[in-house]
Chains A and B, each alone.
Chain A
C-alpha cells in the first residue's frame, strides 16, 4: 500500500470489494450524513405509517382482522425501533431525529400523507405500499452499511408477511358483494399512483442517486426499482380482478417489462412540499403524542434517578 493511500480511497476500495462498513470504521462525513438522513427518514416513515392504518383498528370488520392489523402496526413500531437504533450507531440520538421530524426538517415517505378511507385501504396499503417498500428494502439488504443492511433483512421478512396479509384482505373482498368489489377498485385507484411515487423521482431528476449508488447505499436506481414493482404487481392485479388506473400499462415484448403511463410529478412535489391531503394531520398527531407523553417520560427519568440514588446510598 502506498503511503499516501488516502482514507477515502481505502473506504471506496472496501465498498467496491463488497465489504460492509461498520459504525466504528472510518467513513466520509458525507456518507455518514447521507445514511443518517436516509435511515432516520425510513424510521420516521414506519412511525408515521402507523397512523393511516391505526385509523382502522377500532373499525376492523372481524376479530381476526383486528388482531392482524394490530400486530402489523406493532411490527411497524418495531421496525421504527431497529431503524432508529441503526441510525444511532452513527452518532445521532433518537430524540434528535424525532425533533427534526417534528420541526418539519426531516422527511418521511409521502405515501402516508394520503388518507385511508375504507377497509379496502387496509388491504391496498398492504398489497401496494408494503409491496413497493419490499422492492426497495430487498435491494437495501445489500446496502454497504452493516447495521442498516441487517435491519433490512429482519424487516423484509415481516414486510412480506404484511404484503400477503394485505393481498388476502383484498382477495376476500374481491370474492364478496358488489359493494366490497367497488371498495377494492376505489382503493386501488387511489393508491396506485402514489405507490409508484414511493420510489422517488426519475433517475434523471434524482441528484442524490449517483453518489449513493457509488457508495452502494443504493443498489438499484429509482427507475429500476419502480419497474421491478410494476412487473411484479400487474399480474397480481389480474388475480384480484382489479383494473390498474393507467390505460398505458402494457407488456412490452422487446424489453420484457411492462410499459406504463406518465407519473404526475407535480402531485409528488406538492405532497413533499406539505400540500398532500393529510400532511398536517400526520405531523400534528405525532407532535401531539410526543407532547402529551412528555410528563410520562419525565416521570420515568425522575423515578430511575431516585432508584439510582437509593442504590448508591445503600452501597455507601
Chain B
C-alpha cells in the first residue's frame, strides 16, 4: 500500500480511536444519566469508525485490525493533539468534542467524494453519526455558554485552552498533500472555511468570545505528541503488550 495513503488512513483512524478512548473514561461518571449515555454513544461511534479504517489497512497489509491500535508506539500514532487532551470537566470535554466535530463532520462530507472507494464508503456511513455528534456538542456549547455565570466562565476558559489545537486539523501533513493531489483527501482550506463558520455561529450563540490571538499547536499528525498519549496507550495496549499473541 502507498505510504502516504497508509499514513492518511492512520490519521483518520487514530483521531477517532484516541477521542473514543478518552470519551470512554466518562462512562459511569457523567453529570446526569442521559448525558452519560449520550457520550458513550459517541465513543461507540468513534471507535466503530476507527475500526473500519484499521480493518481496511489490515486487509491490505495482511494484518489484524487490533495490531494498529494495540501494537504501535507513540510516535507511530498520527492523531491530532486535540483528541489526546484530557477530559477535564464536562465543559472541557464538550469544547474538545465540538471543535473535533466541526472538522469531523465537514471532512467526512467531503470524503464522500474521495477517489478511494473504501474511504468514500466509510465516510458515507459515518457522516450520519458525525452530524448527530455536531448537533449534540453544539447544543451543549450553547446551553453551557449561555447557562449560568459559572458555566459561562468555565466554557470561555475551556475554549481559550483548546482553540490552539483547532488549526492542526486543517493544516495538511505531507502525506495529506499527496492524498489531496490524488483527490483521495479533500482540500482542507474549504473544509476549514465551513468549520470555522460553524464554530463562529455556535460560539456567538453561546455568548462566548472566540479567541483569535493564540499560538497554534501542532505535531500529532506527524507523530510528535504530548505526554498524554503515552499514558493513553499504556492503558489501552496493556493486555496485548503483557500477553503477546494471546486471543481475547
Contacts and interface: CB of A to CB of B under 8 A. Distances in A.
A71 interface: yes
Contact of A47 (B25, B33, B90): B33
Contact of A285 (B29, B69, B144, B239): B29
A63 B27 contact: no
A119 B239 CA distance: 8
B206 to A, nearest CB: 10
Q: Indicate the member of B65, B143, B146, B147 with the most A CB atoms within 10 Å.
A: B147
B177 interface: no
Contacts of B34: 81
A292 B89 contact: yes
A70 interface: yes
A296 B248 contact: no
Given A58-B24, A66-B24, A74-B44, A298 B33 contact: no
Contact of B239 (A61, A70, A295): A61
Contacts of B213: none
Interface in B19-35: 21, 24-25, 27-35
Given A172-B248, A179-B243, A299 B47 contact: no
B31 A180 contact: no
Interface residues of A, number: 49
Q: Interface of chain B, helix or strand or loop or mixed?
A: helix
A79 to B, nearest CB: 10
A172 B21 contact: no
B25 A58 contact: yes
Interface in A115-130: 119
Contacts of B40: 70, 73-74, 77
Q: Indicate the member of A47, A77, A81, A290 with the most B CB atoms within 10 Å.
A: A77
Interface in B27-63: 27-37, 40-41, 43-44, 47-48, 50-51, 54
B240 interface: yes
Interface residues of B, number: 49
Contacts of A180: 243, 246
A297 interface: yes
B240 A61 contact: yes
Contacts of B243: 177, 179-180
Interface stretch (B148-156, B189-197, B220-228): B148-156
A63 B40 CA distance: 15
B238 A295 contact: no
A77 B41 CA distance: 12
B138 interface: no
B28 to A, nearest CB: 4
A176 B247 contact: yes
Interface in A35-65: 47, 50-51, 54, 57-65
A306 B144 CA distance: 12
Nearest to B39: A74
Contacts of A111: none
Interface string B159-186: 0000000000000000000000000000
B235 to A, nearest CB: 4
Interface in A178-227: 179-180
A296 B69 contact: no
Contact of B147 (A73, A292, A303): A303
Nearest to B247: A176
B67 to A, nearest CB: 10
Nearest to A46: B33
Interface string B229-248: 00010011011100100111
Interface in A127-158: none
A81 B33 CA distance: 7
19 contacts: A58-B21, A58-B236, A59-B236, A61-B70, A62-B66, A63-B69, A66-B47, A70-B40, A73-B40, A74-B27, A77-B40, A78-B37, A172-B247, A176-B247, A289-B28, A292-B89, A296-B151, A302-B147, A303-B142
Closest 7 pairs (CB-CB, A-B): A293-B31, A299-B147, A299-B151, A50-B28, A61-B248, A54-B28, A61-B239
Interface of A: 47, 50-51, 54, 57-67, 70-71, 73-74, 77-78, 80-81, 84, 119, 169, 172-173, 175-177, 179-180, 285, 288-290, 292-300, 302-303, 306
